[in-house]
Structure 1
Amino acid sequence: MDLKDQLKNLFPDHEVPNEEDSVKDSERALWIQEAPIVCKYEKRKGKPVTILDGYTGDKEDFRELAKGLKTHLGVGGSAKNDTILIQGDYRKEIMEYLKDLGFRVKRVGG
């Protein structure tokens, strides 16, 4: 008797949702905006930081975009006050990632 059968015995009224019908969070489309996202580089306390500013979509999409960027790059960062901070100079990689998602990106500074 496997785990699914045991759970069926414990909860006979529970219906298992079809996997095809459920949409994964990563497959959910982000809101694409008209104005470009500004990608700039700064040094804060002597450390390089890439800053993304200008996203005007939903807060949930904003958090999802920040998490996707950090996961894709394998680095740390934060997302607050409509600004995404990524630790390190990843302007090129971030711009390619955002263009693949369908965003317009504008590079500011060097």
Structure 2
Amino acid sequence: MAGGAQIKSLLWLDEKETARTRTLTQSQKLQELAFMMPKDVLTARLTGGADSANVISNIASELRHRPASVPSLASRLLQLEVHGRDYLKVAQEEDKQPFLVLPA
């Protein structure tokens, strides 16, 4: 199962702590991959040079940032005692505001 679907499934099942630890592991692995393919090495090895390296670097950066926010989200849902399924329902139904803000 893909990482995003796995995390969404864990939240739906209200396995917030498991989702938190799983995304920490995913983030660490993505960070390690990023260090193994620095932009200057990609530029030297790719046919498209710097342009291709920038595209790949930007995609990799986005892939690293997405799961990086889940551990704090899962922790906050735990603190507020919000069921993961309820959170996902509200988030999926929201079409006007791109962000869901949880109270402090």
TM-score tier (shorter): under 0.3
Larger proportion of strand: 1
More contact order relative to length (CA 8 Å, sep ≥ 6): 2
TM-score normalised by L of structure 2:
0.20
TM-score normalised by L of structure 1:
0.19
Larger proportion of helix: 2
Q: Point out the structure with max Rg over C-alpha.
A: 1
